[in-house]
Amino acid sequence: MALAAAGEFARAAASACAARGAFRVALAGGTTPRSLYEALADPRGPWRASVPWEKVHVFFGDERVVPPDSRLSNVWMAKQALLRHVPIPEAQVHRMRGESPDPDRAAEEYEEMVRRHFRLSFAERPRFDLALLGMGEDGHTASLFPGGRGLEEKERLAIATTAPVEPSQRITLTLPVFNAAAEVLVLVTGAGKGRAFARVRAGDPLPAARVHPVDGTLLWLVDRAAAVAAA
């Protein structure tokens, strides 16, 4: 799954940089994407040399409200697995301020930064070249959880929300943002995700099932263990 995802990432990066001179990607957190990030950073692999890292702008789909040097932080994981190993200019890594004592304000600041970066008018949404997402065993994605207040947000680009698992305080991009992306890649591994994946395929409106780019492509990369468990 990681190697297939790395190929998709590299293809999307090359295409965006050729077309627009930059690649703007929203990274997923959790543990699943770590193997993808490590594959991209691997100097022995084909992707570290092929991705125009100096043109890559990294954003985050969500973040835990923890310090950026916490092992629970999504930006910490991305730095360990990828960002410290490739030449992305520091100014092009746009992290959510998980250390903020005011997550609502941190979400507003992130939204303002995204609006500035994408030069958005008020009603516009950012069109990420690629949004990476994972899925929890309950069918959540980013930090949009079943029954969570963030799931129905239609206006805001980024909000503070709570998770039923620790760390419970989160900052997340909203469904309209993921659904405005040019490409969305959902990464699912492990038998534990089988039930949620089966429910997504059956049409249950789980958060992960509500990711449908309005004008873009959606690719689910599911490993054998999850696919067999979903059968």
Residue number of the CB closest to ligand 6PG reads 134
- Is 226 within 8 Å of 191 (Cβ atoms)? yes
Smallest separation, CB 157 to ligand 6PG (Å): 16
Smallest separation, CB 136 to ligand 6PG (Å): 4
User: How far apart are alpha carbons 94 and 212 in whole angstroms?
Assistant: 24
- When the beta carbons of 28 and 83 are compared against ligand 6PG, the nearer one is 28
Q: DSSP per residue over 152-206, as a string?
A: G--S-SEEEEE-SSSS-EEEEE-HHHHTT-SEEEEEE-SGGGHHHHHHHHTT---
- Is 138 within 8 Å of 145 (Cβ atoms)? yes
- When the beta carbons of 124 and 204 are compared against ligand 6PG, the nearer one is 204
- When the beta carbons of 17 and 223 are compared against ligand 6PG, the nearer one is 223
Smallest separation, CB 72 to ligand 6PG (Å): 9
Binding region for ligand 6PG (CB under 6 A): 28-32, 61-62, 64, 74, 134-136, 140-143
CA distances from 201 to 131, 195, 231 (A): 20, 10, 10
* Packed helices 34-41 and 74-81: angle between N→C axes, nearest 10 degrees: 30
Q: Which two tokens stand for residue 106?
A: 């941190």
* Packed helices 34-41 and 2-20: angle between N→C axes, nearest 10 degrees: 60
- When the beta carbons of 136 and 216 are compared against ligand 6PG, the nearer one is 136
Smallest separation, CB 62 to ligand 6PG (Å): 4
Smallest separation, CB 43 to ligand 6PG (Å): 25
Provide the residue type at 66 as one letter.
Answer: V
- When the beta carbons of 28 and 151 are compared against ligand 6PG, the nearer one is 28
